């Protein structure tokens, strides 16, 4: 299949405006005849469902949580970027566009990124009007901060809870539409398959997580906003329930999966404390503004109380290696250097599986320089959170940090209209691959989720619906009944294995394998090893899985088993993509491809494309389709932080 990005041409500033004008419209009186399914209720899904409701469509929204207010967007701490230039520091839509293309290491589509930057300003207006309590100055006007090394202060924030406040804004708008009956909400309901009739997405199959009932829901269009797949690594900063099932099952039905190997590591997370660890907790990147990263120089000091290790015996390795950027080097560099130190046996903290994985982030100097009160004003909430989890007080003892998987840039391939390779299946937010290229900048995830949900999807989905006749497929359609039957058979298969190992233990083992061989640094040999190992583990899963209880009730083991089964397949594709991409770009670091300075070495001649993988059948090799990327405005360059 020829991939058509449908990206407009012409001056980049006019592309979205023109696309909007060319979009077909649905007569307001006819809108309620169209059924729209939205899967997920985070920033993208919640905003999209609310907006479709406002427009008058007949919307059904699904989430696995007990309430749409709990989607994982809620956990975002830092902020949301917008090119408002309220600080008069030289920001503009063009600069935000430029920074995002460059930050993505030249692996994103320019047209999409420009639209994102353009819409960023509308998002802030919308959220403020909803009553989102962004930080304000004493003038009563909105405050901004510089985030993640940006040279302009364009980040809007709401204490350390920006995601929560933005999500509650979307949730409240959604609640209004639920009350007005334009949206029907289905909480505690998980999408298990996509219904495709004659090549067109016509609905989903779900399982009611309380009763276990499997049902079909038909519609005129399906919109997936089901988040990222970071939990393929088991330990990540994602919520426990985040999973790939909605996107993976759609992939198996014909939606291409793009750039799965573009995964992002966050450098400052609280290290794992034992083999029972269930997730990792992120600590805001802002900590690196004042904290100094170090490890002991002497192996003999690893278990020594850090306070008693003299200055001369500490290796402030980031300051040593990057004199001009020091502790503020970009996320991926900070992450890889920490891994290197721990691989060299210089890590600190508890030993897990034979290795100490942690480096110190020390505020001793900051307290001396600024005073304890000033440090408290900036970081006290983070310090409290850290102490609650570790039992250690960062004013007294250096924090311990280690990188963790945080965000996935890859996702289902979409064209400029956010439509996948299946007609009638749209994908928004982290679930799609579209705007961040190989690396996402800080405070850009919230921006993309809301841009897709409030502003892009309402236009492009309407344009799609204007071209189709509503209805025509219901629960009795043979393709619908067949898909329901396949889902029931899959559940039956998992339930009837009756082996000895829990889904949790399989997921954990898969995650460790992925983290070790497809994590922060990847090699050909390591990826090949993982690609041999994953099918073995998957075979054991289907031979030795144990689930207690039945499928016709609330069954947490069954939920977990279904998600783990899909993670196995995605893990394989991720390793394959990482192996195939013989370059380093953004979050994808292949040890074979680095500069002399240890920096990611892109290969623009060979890899300036989106890798869109096509499912070809059970245990058949997926087919690689390429969408070439061209850069008319921002010219690819090599970054240097030395």
Shortest CA distance to 116 belongs to which of 103, 133, 131? 103
140 vs 323, which CB is nearer to other proteins?
A: 140
Q: How far is the CB of 499 from other proteins (least distance, A)?
A: 12
103 vs 503, which CB is nearer to other proteins?
A: 503
Q: Which two tokens stand for residue 454?
A: 């409030």
Q: How far is the CB of 144 from other proteins (least distance, A)?
A: 11
561 vs 612, which CB is nearer to other proteins?
A: 561
Q: How far is the CB of 623 from other proteins (least distance, A)?
A: 36
179 vs 596, which CB is nearer to other proteins?
A: 179
Phi, psi of 21 (to 5 degrees): -65, -35
Answer for the pair 8, 193: CB distance below 8 angstroms, yes or no: no
Q: How far is the CB of 168 from other proteins (least distance, A)?
A: 7
DSSP 550-596: -SSS--HHHHHHHHHHHHHHHHHHHHHHHHH--S-BTTB-BTTSB-T
Cα–Cα distance measured from residue 300 to residue 147, given in angstroms and rounded to the nearest whole number: 37
65 vs 421, which CB is nearer to other proteins?
A: 65
74 vs 491, which CB is nearer to other proteins?
A: 74
137 vs 486, which CB is nearer to other proteins?
A: 137
Answer for the pair 531, 513: CB distance below 8 angstroms, yes or no: no
83 vs 578, which CB is nearer to other proteins?
A: 83
Q: How far is the CB of 153 from other proteins (least distance, A)?
A: 14
CA dihedral defined by 112, 113, 114, 115, rounded to 10 degrees? 50
DSSP letter assigned to residue 423 = B
3-state secondary structure (DSSP) of residue 521: coil
Q: Which two tokens stand for residue 316?
A: 């402030």
173 vs 483, which CB is nearer to other proteins?
A: 173
* In the block, residue with structure tokens 């830092």: 78
Give how far the C-alpha of residue 598 lies from the chain's centroid of Cα atoms, to the nearest Å.
26
Q: How far is the CB of 632 from other proteins (least distance, A)?
A: 29
Query: In 253-394, which residue ranges form alpha helices assigned H by DSSP?
Result: 317-321, 331-343, 364-370, 372-390
277 vs 603, which CB is nearer to other proteins?
A: 277
Show the beta-strand stretches assigned E in 23-169: 35-39, 58-62, 80-81, 155-156
Shortest CA distance to 280 belongs to which of 159, 148, 385? 385
141 vs 300, which CB is nearer to other proteins?
A: 141
Shortest CA distance to 142 belongs to which of 126, 124, 161? 124
388 vs 635, which CB is nearer to other proteins?
A: 388
Cα–Cα distance measured from residue 4 to residue 416, given in angstroms and rounded to the nearest whole number: 9
* In the block, residue with structure tokens 């921006």: 447
Phi, psi of 587 (to 5 degrees): -75, -5
Rg (CA), the chain: 24
Q: How far is the CB of 541 from other proteins (least distance, A)?
A: 15
DSSP 189-214: EEEEEEEEETTEEEEEEEEETTT--E
How many other CB atoms are there within 10 angstroms of residue 355's CB atom? 11
Cα–Cα distance measured from residue 497 to residue 626, given in angstroms and rounded to the nearest whole number: 39
- ∠ CA 268-270-276, nearest 5°, is 145
Q: How far is the CB of 171 from other proteins (least distance, A)?
A: 7
Q: How far is the CB of 621 from other proteins (least distance, A)?
A: 35
- ∠ CA 157-433-539, nearest 5°, is 115
Q: How far is the CB of 468 from other proteins (least distance, A)?
A: 23
Shortest CA distance to 349 belongs to which of 315, 298, 414, 398? 398
Q: How far is the CB of 8 from other proteins (least distance, A)?
A: 21
Q: How far is the CB of 559 from other proteins (least distance, A)?
A: 10
556 vs 606, which CB is nearer to other proteins?
A: 556
Spell out the residues 6+ positions from residue 137 whose beta carbon is closer than 8 angstroms to its own: 143
3-state secondary structure (DSSP) of residue 115: helix
Q: How far is the CB of 59 from other proteins (least distance, A)?
A: 14
Q: How far is the CB of 546 from other proteins (least distance, A)?
A: 7
170 vs 261, which CB is nearer to other proteins?
A: 170
Q: How far is the CB of 278 from other proteins (least distance, A)?
A: 5
Answer for the pair 1, 625: CB distance below 8 angstroms, yes or no: yes
- Between strands 411-412 and 292-296, the pairing is unpaired
238 vs 483, which CB is nearer to other proteins?
A: 238
């Amino acid at each position: 299949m020829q991939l058509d990005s449908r990206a407009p041409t012409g001056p980049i500033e006019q592309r979205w405006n023109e696309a909007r004008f060319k979009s077909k419209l649905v007569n307001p009186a006819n809108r309620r005849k169209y059924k729209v399914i939205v899967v997920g209720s985070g920033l993208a899904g919640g905003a999209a469902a609310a907006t479709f409701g406002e427009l008058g469509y007949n919307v059904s929204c699904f989430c696995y949580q007990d309430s749409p207010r709990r989607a994982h967007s809620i956990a975002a701490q830092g902020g949301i970027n917008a090119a408002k230039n309220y600080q008069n520091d030289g920001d503009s839509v063009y600069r935000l566009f430029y920074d995002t293309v460059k930050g993505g290491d030249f692996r994103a589509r320019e047209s999409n990124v420009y639209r994102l930057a353009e819409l960023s300003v509308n998002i802030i207006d919308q959220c403020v009007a909803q009553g989102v309590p962004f930080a304000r100055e004493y003038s009563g006007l909105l405050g901004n901060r510089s985030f993640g090394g940006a040279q302009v202060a364009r980040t809007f924030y709401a204490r350390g809870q920006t995601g929560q406040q933005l999500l509650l804004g979307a949730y409240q708008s959604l609640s209004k539409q639920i009350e007005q009956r334009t949206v029907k909400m289905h909480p505690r309901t998980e999408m298990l398959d996509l219904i495709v009739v004659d090549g067109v997405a016509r609905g989903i199959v779900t399982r009611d997580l309380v009763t276990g009932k499997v049902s079909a829901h038909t519609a005129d269009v399906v919109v997936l906003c089901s988040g990222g797949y970071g939990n393929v690594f088991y330990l990540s900063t994602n919520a426990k329930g985040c999973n790939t099932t909605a996107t993976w099952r759609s992939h198996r039905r014909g939606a291409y999966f793009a750039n799965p190997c573009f995964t992002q590591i966050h450098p400052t997370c609280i290290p794992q404390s034992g083999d029972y660890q269930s997730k990792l907790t992120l600590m805001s990147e802002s900590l690196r503004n004042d904290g100094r990263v170090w490890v002991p120089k002497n192996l003999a000091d690893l278990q020594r109380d850090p306070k008693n290790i003299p200055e001369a015996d500490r290796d402030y390795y980031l300051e040593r290696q990057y004199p001009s950027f020091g502790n503020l080097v970009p996320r991926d560099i900070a992450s890889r250097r920490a891994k290197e130190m721990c691989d060299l046996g210089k890590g600190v903290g508890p030993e897990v599986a034979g290795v100490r994985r942690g480096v110190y982030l020390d505020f001793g100097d900051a307290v001396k320089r600024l005073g304890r009160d000033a440090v408290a004003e900036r970081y006290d909430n983070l310090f409290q959170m850290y102490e609650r989890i570790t039992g250690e007080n960062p004013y007294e003892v250096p924090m311990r940090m280690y990188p963790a998987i945080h965000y996935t840039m890859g996702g289902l391939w979409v064209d400029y209209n956010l439509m996948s390779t299946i007609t009638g299946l749209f994908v928004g937010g982290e679930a799609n691959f579209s705007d961040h290229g190989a690396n996402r900048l800080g405070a850009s995830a919230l921006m993309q989720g809301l841009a897709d949900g409030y502003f892009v999807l309402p236009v492009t989905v309407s344009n799609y619906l204007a071209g189709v006749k509503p209805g025509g497929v219901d629960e009795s359609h043979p393709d619908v009944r067949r898909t329901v039957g396949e889902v029931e058979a899959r559940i039956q298969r998992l339930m009837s294995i009756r082996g000895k190992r829990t889904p949790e233990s399989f997921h954990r083992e898969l995650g460790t394998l992925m983290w070790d061989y497809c994590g922060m640094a990847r090699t050909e040999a390591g990826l090949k090893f993982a690609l041999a190992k994953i099918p073995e583990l998957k075979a054991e899963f289907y031979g030795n899985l144990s689930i207690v209880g039945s499928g016709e009730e609330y069954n947490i083991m069954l939920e977990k088993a279904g998600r783990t089964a899909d993670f196995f397949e995605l893990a394989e594709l991720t390793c394959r993509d990482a192996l195939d991409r013989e370059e380093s770009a953004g979050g994808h670091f292949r040890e074979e491809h680095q500069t002399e300075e240890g920096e990611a070495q892109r290969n623009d001649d060979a890899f300036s494309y989106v890798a869109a993988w096509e499912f070809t059948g059970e245990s058949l090799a997926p087919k690689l389709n390429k969408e070439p990327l061209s850069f008319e405005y921002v010219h690819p360059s090599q970054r240097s932080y030395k």
